[in-house]
Amino acid sequence: MEFKVSRAVFFDFDGTLVDSAKDLVECANLQRLKRNKEPLPFEYLKNFVSRGTPAMLKEAIGLLKEDPDYDLIREEYLTDYRERLTQNIRFFDGIPEMLEDLDNKRIPWGIVTNKPSNLTIPLLNFLNLTHRVISSTYGDSAPKSKPHPDTIFLACDQASVNPSNCIYVGDDQRDIEAGKAAGMKTIILTYGYCPEPEMIPEWGADFIAHTPAEITVGIDKLFK
Protein backbone atom coordinates (compact mmCIF):
# COMPACT_ATOMS: atom_id res chain seq x y z
CA MET A 1 0.00 0.00 0.00
CA GLU A 2 1.25 3.49 -0.87
CA PHE A 3 1.09 5.85 2.09
CA LYS A 4 0.07 9.38 1.12
CA VAL A 5 -0.02 10.81 4.66
CA SER A 6 3.02 10.70 6.91
CA ARG A 7 1.14 10.78 10.22
CA ALA A 8 -2.33 11.26 11.70
CA VAL A 9 -4.28 11.36 14.96
CA PHE A 10 -7.45 9.34 15.44
CA PHE A 11 -10.02 9.99 18.13
CA ASP A 12 -12.75 8.09 19.87
CA PHE A 13 -15.99 10.12 19.78
CA ASP A 14 -18.24 9.91 22.86
CA GLY A 15 -16.39 10.87 26.03
CA THR A 16 -13.39 12.04 24.02
CA LEU A 17 -14.46 14.76 21.60
CA VAL A 18 -18.09 15.17 22.59
CA ASP A 19 -20.19 15.02 25.72
CA SER A 20 -23.25 12.99 24.70
CA ALA A 21 -23.98 11.57 28.14
CA LYS A 22 -27.12 13.55 28.93
CA ASP A 23 -29.16 12.18 26.02
CA LEU A 24 -27.90 8.62 26.44
CA VAL A 25 -28.53 8.60 30.19
CA GLU A 26 -32.04 9.98 29.69
CA CYS A 27 -32.80 7.17 27.24
CA ALA A 28 -31.44 4.55 29.64
CA ASN A 29 -33.56 5.97 32.44
CA LEU A 30 -36.58 5.98 30.14
CA GLN A 31 -36.23 2.19 30.03
CA ARG A 32 -36.35 2.20 33.82
CA LEU A 33 -39.44 4.41 33.86
CA LYS A 34 -41.18 2.00 31.47
CA ARG A 35 -40.64 -0.62 34.18
CA ASN A 36 -41.85 1.66 37.00
CA LYS A 37 -38.34 2.06 38.36
CA GLU A 38 -36.83 5.28 39.67
CA PRO A 39 -34.20 6.92 37.42
CA LEU A 40 -30.59 6.24 38.30
CA PRO A 41 -28.33 9.23 39.02
CA PHE A 42 -26.77 10.86 35.97
CA GLU A 43 -23.33 10.82 37.59
CA TYR A 44 -23.55 7.04 37.90
CA LEU A 45 -24.94 6.10 34.48
CA LYS A 46 -22.70 8.47 32.52
CA ASN A 47 -19.73 6.30 33.48
CA PHE A 48 -20.92 3.59 31.07
CA VAL A 49 -21.56 5.73 27.99
CA SER A 50 -18.20 4.95 26.39
CA ARG A 51 -18.86 1.22 26.77
CA GLY A 52 -21.85 1.37 24.46
CA THR A 53 -25.46 0.27 24.42
CA PRO A 54 -24.93 -3.17 26.03
CA ALA A 55 -23.28 -1.59 29.08
CA MET A 56 -25.93 1.12 29.39
CA LEU A 57 -28.81 -1.36 29.28
CA LYS A 58 -27.08 -3.73 31.67
CA GLU A 59 -26.54 -0.99 34.25
CA ALA A 60 -29.95 0.60 33.76
CA ILE A 61 -32.23 -2.45 33.74
CA GLY A 62 -29.99 -5.49 34.15
CA LEU A 63 -30.45 -6.53 30.51
CA LEU A 64 -27.88 -8.92 29.07
CA LYS A 65 -27.07 -9.67 25.44
CA GLU A 66 -28.11 -13.29 26.01
CA ASP A 67 -31.63 -12.29 27.12
CA PRO A 68 -34.31 -13.22 24.56
CA ASP A 69 -35.74 -9.70 24.44
CA TYR A 70 -32.36 -7.95 24.17
CA ASP A 71 -32.65 -7.02 20.48
CA LEU A 72 -36.15 -5.58 20.92
CA ILE A 73 -35.23 -3.47 23.95
CA ARG A 74 -31.98 -2.36 22.34
CA GLU A 75 -33.94 -1.07 19.35
CA GLU A 76 -36.37 0.76 21.65
CA TYR A 77 -33.44 2.40 23.41
CA LEU A 78 -31.78 3.43 20.16
CA THR A 79 -35.04 4.72 18.70
CA ASP A 80 -35.48 6.95 21.75
CA TYR A 81 -31.90 8.14 21.31
CA ARG A 82 -32.33 8.91 17.61
CA GLU A 83 -35.27 11.15 18.48
CA ARG A 84 -33.07 13.34 20.69
CA LEU A 85 -29.73 12.74 18.97
CA THR A 86 -28.63 16.38 18.79
CA GLN A 87 -30.63 17.72 21.72
CA ASN A 88 -27.85 18.08 24.28
CA ILE A 89 -24.65 17.01 22.54
CA ARG A 90 -21.71 19.39 22.84
CA PHE A 91 -17.95 19.47 22.50
CA PHE A 92 -16.02 19.18 25.73
CA ASP A 93 -14.54 22.54 26.64
CA GLY A 94 -11.24 22.97 24.82
CA ILE A 95 -11.89 20.39 22.08
CA PRO A 96 -12.59 22.92 19.27
CA GLU A 97 -9.33 24.70 20.09
CA MET A 98 -7.40 21.42 20.19
CA LEU A 99 -8.76 20.37 16.77
CA GLU A 100 -8.04 23.80 15.34
CA ASP A 101 -4.47 23.47 16.58
CA LEU A 102 -4.13 20.20 14.66
CA ASP A 103 -5.53 21.85 11.55
CA ASN A 104 -3.11 24.76 11.89
CA LYS A 105 -0.20 22.32 12.23
CA ARG A 106 -1.53 20.41 9.21
CA ILE A 107 -1.77 17.20 11.20
CA PRO A 108 -4.61 15.13 9.70
CA TRP A 109 -7.10 13.67 12.15
CA GLY A 110 -10.00 11.26 12.02
CA ILE A 111 -12.56 9.45 14.14
CA VAL A 112 -12.81 5.77 15.08
CA THR A 113 -15.85 5.05 17.21
CA ASN A 114 -17.93 2.04 18.18
CA LYS A 115 -21.07 4.14 17.73
CA PRO A 116 -23.03 2.88 14.69
CA SER A 117 -22.79 4.86 11.47
CA ASN A 118 -26.49 5.76 11.42
CA LEU A 119 -26.03 7.58 14.73
CA THR A 120 -22.55 9.01 14.20
CA ILE A 121 -22.82 10.44 10.68
CA PRO A 122 -25.75 12.75 11.55
CA LEU A 123 -23.76 14.00 14.55
CA LEU A 124 -20.65 14.64 12.45
CA ASN A 125 -22.82 16.66 10.07
CA PHE A 126 -24.47 18.53 12.95
CA LEU A 127 -21.11 19.40 14.48
CA ASN A 128 -19.60 20.37 11.10
CA LEU A 129 -16.90 17.71 11.34
CA THR A 130 -17.71 15.71 8.21
CA HIS A 131 -15.42 17.63 5.87
CA ARG A 132 -12.66 18.11 8.42
CA VAL A 133 -11.82 14.47 9.16
CA ILE A 134 -9.38 12.56 7.00
CA SER A 135 -11.39 9.39 7.66
CA SER A 136 -14.04 8.03 10.01
CA THR A 137 -15.10 4.51 10.91
CA TYR A 138 -17.91 3.23 13.09
CA GLY A 139 -18.97 0.22 15.10
CA ASP A 140 -20.55 -1.32 12.01
CA SER A 141 -17.70 -0.50 9.60
CA ALA A 142 -15.89 -3.81 10.14
CA PRO A 143 -16.77 -7.28 11.47
CA LYS A 144 -15.11 -6.50 14.81
CA SER A 145 -15.11 -3.18 16.65
CA LYS A 146 -12.87 -1.95 19.48
CA PRO A 147 -11.07 -3.41 21.41
CA HIS A 148 -10.21 -5.17 18.14
CA PRO A 149 -8.11 -2.97 15.83
CA ASP A 150 -10.14 -3.65 12.66
CA THR A 151 -11.90 -0.28 12.50
CA ILE A 152 -8.61 1.51 13.26
CA PHE A 153 -6.88 -0.31 10.41
CA LEU A 154 -9.78 0.58 8.12
CA ALA A 155 -9.53 4.25 9.07
CA CYS A 156 -5.80 4.17 8.29
CA ASP A 157 -6.50 2.53 4.93
CA GLN A 158 -9.00 5.26 4.13
CA ALA A 159 -6.44 7.91 5.08
CA SER A 160 -3.53 6.13 3.34
CA VAL A 161 -1.43 6.37 6.48
CA ASN A 162 0.77 3.83 8.25
CA PRO A 163 -0.74 2.98 11.68
CA SER A 164 2.71 2.93 13.24
CA ASN A 165 2.96 6.67 12.52
CA CYS A 166 -0.34 7.48 14.21
CA ILE A 167 -1.77 8.25 17.63
CA TYR A 168 -5.10 7.02 18.98
CA VAL A 169 -6.90 9.05 21.66
CA GLY A 170 -9.73 7.72 23.82
CA ASP A 171 -11.27 7.57 27.28
CA ASP A 172 -11.81 3.82 27.76
CA GLN A 173 -9.57 0.80 28.24
CA ARG A 174 -10.70 -0.74 24.98
CA ASP A 175 -9.54 2.41 23.16
CA ILE A 176 -6.03 1.84 24.44
CA GLU A 177 -6.17 -1.88 23.68
CA ALA A 178 -7.31 -1.22 20.12
CA GLY A 179 -4.74 1.50 19.51
CA LYS A 180 -1.88 -0.63 20.83
CA ALA A 181 -3.08 -3.64 18.82
CA ALA A 182 -2.91 -1.46 15.71
CA GLY A 183 0.67 -0.48 16.52
CA MET A 184 -0.17 3.13 17.40
CA LYS A 185 0.92 5.37 20.22
CA THR A 186 -1.98 6.00 22.57
CA ILE A 187 -3.35 8.80 24.74
CA ILE A 188 -5.88 8.09 27.49
CA LEU A 189 -8.17 10.81 28.83
CA THR A 190 -9.30 11.18 32.42
CA TYR A 191 -12.15 13.64 31.80
CA GLY A 192 -14.33 11.17 29.86
CA TYR A 193 -16.72 8.50 31.10
CA CYS A 194 -14.36 5.97 32.67
CA PRO A 195 -16.05 4.33 35.71
CA GLU A 196 -12.68 3.25 37.14
CA PRO A 197 -10.32 6.25 36.86
CA GLU A 198 -7.95 4.73 39.39
CA MET A 199 -7.22 1.95 36.86
CA ILE A 200 -6.16 4.30 34.04
CA PRO A 201 -2.40 4.20 34.78
CA GLU A 202 -2.48 0.40 34.49
CA TRP A 203 -3.77 0.43 30.89
CA GLY A 204 -0.37 1.23 29.47
CA ALA A 205 -1.18 4.32 27.43
CA ASP A 206 1.80 6.34 26.24
CA PHE A 207 0.37 9.58 27.65
CA ILE A 208 -2.35 10.53 30.14
CA ALA A 209 -4.27 13.76 29.40
CA HIS A 210 -6.46 15.35 32.04
CA THR A 211 -7.80 18.11 29.77
CA PRO A 212 -8.18 18.68 26.01
CA ALA A 213 -5.27 21.14 26.21
CA GLU A 214 -3.10 18.29 27.49
CA ILE A 215 -4.02 16.21 24.42
CA THR A 216 -2.06 18.77 22.40
CA VAL A 217 0.89 18.35 24.76
CA GLY A 218 0.72 14.58 24.37
CA ILE A 219 0.48 14.71 20.58
CA ASP A 220 3.48 17.03 20.35
CA LYS A 221 5.48 14.79 22.67
CA LEU A 222 4.59 11.52 20.90
CA PHE A 223 5.25 12.91 17.42
CA LYS A 224 8.78 14.10 18.31
Are 10 and 109 in contact by the 8 Å Cβ rule? The answer is yes
- Measured between alpha carbons, how far is 41 from 37 in angstroms, rounded to an integer? 12
Q: Which of 12, 19, 23, 172 is catalytic?
A: 12
Sheet hosting strand 8-11, strand order edge to edge: 136-137, 109-112, 8-11, 166-170, 185-189, 207-209
- Measured between alpha carbons, how far is 185 from 174 in angstroms, rounded to an integer? 14
- Measured between alpha carbons, how far is 150 from 156 in angstroms, rounded to an integer? 10
Q: For residue 120, give the amino acid letter.
A: T
Q: Is 69 a catalytic residue?
A: no
The strand ranges marked E within the chain are 8-11, 18-19, 90-91, 109-112, 136-137, 166-170, 185-189, 207-209
Q: Name every residue whose Cβ is closer than 8 Å to that of residue 125 and which is 6 or more positions away in sequence.
A: none
- Measured between alpha carbons, how far is 2 from 92 in angstroms, rounded to an integer? 35
Q: Is 12 a catalytic residue?
A: yes
Judged on CB neighbours under 10 Å (0-12, 13-18, 19+), 101 is: middle
Closest by Cα among 126, 45, 56, 117 to 91: 126
Task: Cite the active site residues.
Answer: 12, 14
